[in-house]
Structure 1
């Protein structure tokens, strides 16, 4: 059983059937369409409309059942942080006319993701544990433990792969390979540190630690803009601030606020995305539990009460919101 619930959000049987698995609209002026792991993107000449569906992925696999309200949660968390940082770093968003929809400028993405880390966790810890003392060309000191704070936040970029997995890459290799011009990369670094500082401050206000996160950027004409989502539990790792020092001193795992609970349930049921493994059955109580946890994440991160979107005809609601705003 999934032992993850801090509180329980009741979802009746009717609501349980209302997750948005995918959308298949055709709009006037639409020039392309892209389906990501969890988002459907409608592309126009100068703009895009991004639908946050209720699909959920883990270990680079899209799970077979949709999670009610998960798309709304992620879309509204991202919009909360994009709105809160817009005066610091310009971003792609022009409107969010529906709880599951964000509309914005169609940018040409840079082919790197800017990962920034304030703590030695996740991938960075695994590399360190295995003996590496340099990550993406950044030197790491001796004597660190898992989840220790780094002397200062470090930027560890990855490639943005069209297929397969992203890979670590150094600043020097990015510039030498011409992936990003130096003058542009300096802007990406500046924006990344500015956003992380603001995200850290906002997390602290909610009793959280922003451990690490990623940002993506693109070009719109001559302007460099922040694109995609930011500071969501799907793109960021958070620790609870209360008890962090005590857990660290005692060598205990840190209490996380992220979608790590989904991965843990899969691992406990024999699935890590490896060949030959089968995704465990997602029964209604599991789906309901995951949905409840995402709502909890929303309320803790934003400090706002979650208000479920009108579920009477979600696809028509979403379609109309895009049609009226493109």
Structure 2
């Protein structure tokens, strides 16, 4: 990675929020800020905010937004033959111009391995996750016989909640026909993501997809196969580490979750969100940059953005 500025400059110039004069206030998600641009288009600004356990950290990660946005653009391009995507243009490292879709309020989570939330559920003794029966005798990071689909409701506030496919249909969140199509496409996307990762020496462990409808057409939105939406293991040494019961080397936000748990935070009542030290923030950035470079085969070249609001005003005008 090449740059001509210091770590301190990078830390001091994180994009944490935007405000563009003359445009309505954006919709603010955990990471993205979305501006209405008219003509069925939206401007998505990917900030450097980072979240875990449904909480936004008090400190941001340098260039995380640029990495996510560019990695999403790379991955959307890889799957555009499977499903329509919302991408129209990527005019800036932090910005995507996209189709304005009616979002479907379900996070479609596909898991290939017993890791993270699935492992924590399994370790607690439960053998059913989102209506899916989990095999006995598995250990952490074991591969499932086949990828499983474990959806979650997309909460406007607070925590997303696990939901079974049967509940999605019984609540009439989507029609059976649309859900069948979403399910089929999600599994195809996971297969493609797995193939792309494998070529670069990585294992796609699990991921989430979000969909919307654009003029009635099912469309992939938000992000795809990024560090925020996916978990990756290093392919080399996976089998050996599993056989020896060692932890897996991974590139994902689990690194942040584990740090937070070590500092007594899991988003539970009465817990205090810790500050992220500068050294750790740079370490998280380096993890993100490493995944970008491994997946794309390209060097990540950060752009130090000192006045994002002026830049956005020019792009969105």
TM-score tier, shorter chain, comes to over 0.9
- Give the 3-state SS of the residue equivalent to 2:161 in structure 1: coil
The answer (yes or no) to whether the contact 1:93–1:104 under 8 Å persists in 2 is yes
Q: Which residue of 1 aligns with 2:308?
A: 314
Q: How far apart, CA to CA, are the structure 2 residues paired with 1:227 and 1:86?
A: 12
Q: How far apart, CA to CA, are the structure 1 residues paired with 2:148 and 2:284?
A: 32
Report deviation, 1:312. 4.6
Report deviation, 1:21. 1.1
Q: Which residue of 2 aligns with 1:200?
A: 194
State the TM-score, normalized to the length of structure 2: 0.92
Q: Which residue of 1 aligns with 2:108?
A: 114
Structure 2: state its 5+ residue gaps. none
Pairing 1:42–2:35 present: yes
Q: 2:26 aligns with which of 28, 33, 46?
A: 33
Change (3 A) 1:270 1:156: closer
In the alignment of these two chains, the number of paired residues is 315
Q: How far apart, CA to CA, are the structure 2 residues paired with 1:40 and 1:125?
A: 32
Change (3 A) 1:211 1:277: same
- Give the 3-state SS of the residue equivalent to 1:226 in structure 2: strand
Q: How far apart, CA to CA, are the structure 1 residues paired with 2:95 and 2:61?
A: 17
Q: Which residue of 2 aligns with 1:13?
A: 8
Q: Which residue of 2 aligns with 1:272?
A: 266
Report deviation, 1:57. 1.6
Change (3 A) 1:229 1:219: same
CA offset digits 1:78-106 (Å, max 9, x no partner): 11101111122111111111100011111
Which range moves more in the overlay, 103-112 or 280-289?
A: 280-289
The answer (yes or no) to whether the contact 1:100–1:318 under 8 Å persists in 2 is no
State the TM-score, normalized to the length of structure 1: 0.90
Q: 2:237 aligns with which of 232, 240, 243?
A: 243
Alignment of 1:134-149 (within 5 A): 134-149=128-143
The answer (yes or no) to whether the contact 2:18–2:308 under 8 Å persists in 1 is no
Q: How far apart, CA to CA, are the structure 2 residues paired with 1:126 and 1:34?
A: 32
When the two chains are superposed, the root-mean-square deviation of aligned CA atoms in Å is: 2.1
Q: 2:299 aligns with which of 284, 296, 305?
A: 305
CA offset digits 1:220-277 (Å, max 9, x no partner): 1121101100111111111111111111111111111112222233333343333444
Pairing 1:159–2:176 present: no
Structure 1: state its 5+ residue gaps. 1-6
Q: Which residue of 2 aligns with 1:128?
A: 122
Q: How far apart, CA to CA, are the structure 2 residues paired with 1:270 and 1:159?
A: 26
Q: 2:182 aligns with which of 188, 194, 198?
A: 188
Pairing 1:228–2:222 present: yes
Q: 1:254 aligns with which of 248, 252, 260?
A: 248
The answer (yes or no) to whether the contact 1:11–1:288 under 8 Å persists in 2 is no
Q: Which residue of 2 aligns with 1:4?
A: none
Q: How far apart, CA to CA, are the structure 1 residues paired with 2:98 and 2:87?
A: 4
- Give the 3-state SS of the residue equivalent to 1:225 in structure 2: strand
The answer (yes or no) to whether the contact 2:141–2:242 under 8 Å persists in 1 is yes
Q: How far apart, CA to CA, are the structure 2 residues paired with 1:178 and 1:44?
A: 31
Report deviation, 1:178. 0.6
Q: Which residue of 2 aligns with 1:22?
A: 17
